[in-house]
């Protein structure tokens, strides 16, 4: 079955999630570099959660390609990735999370069309 809407939304969400996660990593590493001069180690948690959001975005990227083949598994991975990324870097990940959770829910709600055959 063609699931073009789910594929496109999840692909856009995962790519946007990777971009947002890279921005969070840049912020975390620049903060770590600035704190290195005054010997504070406050940004290690931000670095860890930023790498976590990169992981969740990568899982969502792979799940977006599996929407047509294994929709239930892909929908589950998209929902978990959206919530996981949202948990990692909070409001910075809000739009990618929405673009991952909506197709994840659509996979479970949307009914497959059955072709009727004329006899």
* Exposed / middle / buried, residue 110 (Cβ in 10 Å: 0-12, 13-18, 19+): middle
When the pLDDT of each residue in the chain is averaged and rounded to a whole number, the result is 84
Delimit the domains of the chain by residue range.
Answer: 14-108
What span, in angstroms and rounded, lies between the C-alpha atoms of 54 and 29? 14
The pTM is what? 0.80
30 pLDDT tier (thresholds 50, 70, 90): confident
pLDDT tens column, 39-55: 655 556 788 888 889 99
CB distance 67 to 34 below 8 Å: no
What span, in angstroms and rounded, lies between the C-alpha atoms of 24 and 26? 5
What does the pLDDT read at residue 27?
85
């Amino acid at each position: 079955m063609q699931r073009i809407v789910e594929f496109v939304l999840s692909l856009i969400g995962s790519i946007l999630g990777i971009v947002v996660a890279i921005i969070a990593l840049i912020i975390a590493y620049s903060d770590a570099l600035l704190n290195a001069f005054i010997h504070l180690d406050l940004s290690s948690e931000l670095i860890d959660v930023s790498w976590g959001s990169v992981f969740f975005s990568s899982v969502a990227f792979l799940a977006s390609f599996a929407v047509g083949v294994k929709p239930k598994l892909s929908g589950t991975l998209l929902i978990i990735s959206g919530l996981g990324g949202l948990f990692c870097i909070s409001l910075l990940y809000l739009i990618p999370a929405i673009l991952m959770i909506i197709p994840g829910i659509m996979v479970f709600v949307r009914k497959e069309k059955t072709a009727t055959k004329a006899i």
